[in-house]
C-alpha cells in the first residue's frame, strides 16, 4: 500500500508531463495489479486537476472511459463519458444512450438478472484491436463520486458495459481476458465488423453469442 505522499508525488509527476497523458498499453504491470482504494490521498485541487487531465486524455484518444491505471496510476479512480453521435439503428441495437461525464471512485458492480449480451469492444490500452465481449446487460453500480457522495444505481445496456469495462481495469482485468478470441479484429480491419450487432461476424468467423 502506497503512502499518501507517494500517491501525491506520482500524481504530480504525471501532471507535470504532456497533455493528453500517455495511455499505458497491455503488458505494463500496472494494468494487472488491483488498484489501491481512494481514501482522500489527494487534496481537492490535485484531484480535480488529475480528473480533468484524465478527461482530456479520454477525449483525445478518443474513448468513452479511462481508468487511472491506464495512465500509470494504481488508484481506484475512473472517468466515463459517452456523448459520441451514433445512428438510430446502432443506438437501439446496442442499447446505447448518452452517458454524461462522471467520476467513479472505488466502483464495484453486481449483475441484476442473468441476461448477458455480446458486443465488440475495444480498449485504449489494447490500441486498435477489437473483440466481442459478453457482459451483463444490467448491473447495480456502487461507488462514490469526486465529492465523496455515495452512488447506488442500476445501469442498463451500453452505459452498464462501459462501467463494467472501467471497473474491471481497477481489478487488474482487461476485456480480452474473457473475450471471444475467434472474433478478434486486428487494427487495419477495425471497420470490417462495424455492424450494429456482431451477428454477421459470429456467422462468418464461427463463434457463439450469448442467448440471454
| Residue 176: all three cell numbers together | 480480452
Instruction: Enumerate the β-bridge partners of residue 151.
Output: 143
pLDDT-derived band at 190, boundaries 50, 70, 90: low
Does the annotation flag 169 for ligand binding? yes
- SS3 state of residue 72: coil
The pLDDT tens digits for 105-150 are 999 999 999 999 999 999 999 999 999 999 999 999 999 999 999 9
165 sits in which H/E element: helix 158-169
For residues 89-115, give the mean pLDDT. Answer: 96
| pLDDT of 81 higher than 90 | yes
Phi first, then psi: what are they for 76, rounded to 5°? Answer: -80, 70
Does the annotation flag 165 for ligand binding? yes
Catalytically active residues are 166
Identify which of 184, 187, 183 has the alpha carbon closest to the alpha carbon of residue 208: 183
pLDDT-derived band at 187, boundaries 50, 70, 90: confident
Q: Which residue has the cell 478470441?
A: 181
- SS3 state of residue 154: strand
Query: Whole-prediction pTM value?
Result: 0.95
Does the annotation flag 199 for ligand binding? no
Give me the pLDDT at residue 188, please. 76
| Residue 95: all three cell numbers together | 442499447
- The percent of residues in the chain predicted with pLDDT above 70, rounded, is 98
Q: For 39-46, which contacts have Cβ atoms below 8 Å and span 24 or more sequence positions?
A: 40/4, 41/4, 41/7, 41/8, 41/75, 42/7, 42/8, 42/11, 46/8, 46/11, 46/12, 46/15
The pLDDT tens digits for 34-79 are 999 999 999 999 999 999 999 999 999 999 999 999 999 999 999 9
Among 1-5, 20-24, 56-60, 195-199, which is the least confidently predicted range? 1-5
Give me the pLDDT at residue 211, please. 76
Give me the pLDDT at residue 71, please. 98
Instruction: Enumerate the β-bridge partners of residue 179.
Output: 133
Cβ–Cβ < 8 Å for 175, 156: no
**Measured distance CA(40)–CA(207) in Å, rounded:** 45
> Which CATH code, of 3.40.50.970, 3.90.45.10, 3.20.20.70, 2.60.40.10, is assigned to 4-117+136-173?
3.90.45.10
- Domains of the chain, by residue range, sit at 4-117+136-173
Give me the pLDDT at residue 55, please. 98
Amino acid at each position: 500500500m502506497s503512502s499518501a505522499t507517494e500517491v501525491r508525488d506520482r500524481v504530480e509527476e504525471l501532471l507535470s508531463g504532456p497533455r493528453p497523458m500517455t495511455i499505458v498499453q497491455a503488458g505494463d504491470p500496472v494494468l494487472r495489479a488491483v488498484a489501491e482504494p481512494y481514501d482522500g490521498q489527494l487534496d481537492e485541487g490535485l484531484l480535480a486537476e488529475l480528473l480533468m487531465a484524465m478527461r482530456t486524455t479520454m477525449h483525445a484518444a478518443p474513448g468513452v472511459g479511462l481508468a487511472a491505471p491506464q495512465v500509470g496510476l494504481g488508484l481506484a479512480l475512473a472517468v466515463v463519458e459517452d456523448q459520441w453521435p451514433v445512428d438510430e439503428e446502432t443506438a437501439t441495437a446496442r442499447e446505447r444512450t448518452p452517458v454524461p461525464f462522471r467520476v467513479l471512485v472505488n466502483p464495484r458492480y453486481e449483475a441484476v438478472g442473468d441476461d448477458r449480451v455480446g458486443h465488440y469492444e475495444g480498449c485504449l490500452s489494447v490500441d486498435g484491436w477489437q473483440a466481442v465481449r459478453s457482459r451483463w446487460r444490467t448491473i447495480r453500480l456502487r461507488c462514490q463520486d469526486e465529492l465523496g457522495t455515495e452512488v447506488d444505481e442500476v445501469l442498463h445496456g451500453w452505459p452498464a458495459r462501459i462501467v463494467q469495462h472501467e471497473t474491471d481495469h481497477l481489478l487488474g482485468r482487461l476485456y480480452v481476458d474473457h473475450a471471444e478470441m475467434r472474433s478478434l479484429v486486428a487494427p487495419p480491419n477495425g471497420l470490417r465488423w462495424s455492424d450494429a450487432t456482431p451477428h454477421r461476424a459470429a456467422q462468418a468467423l464461427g463463434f457463439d453469442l450469448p442467448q440471454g
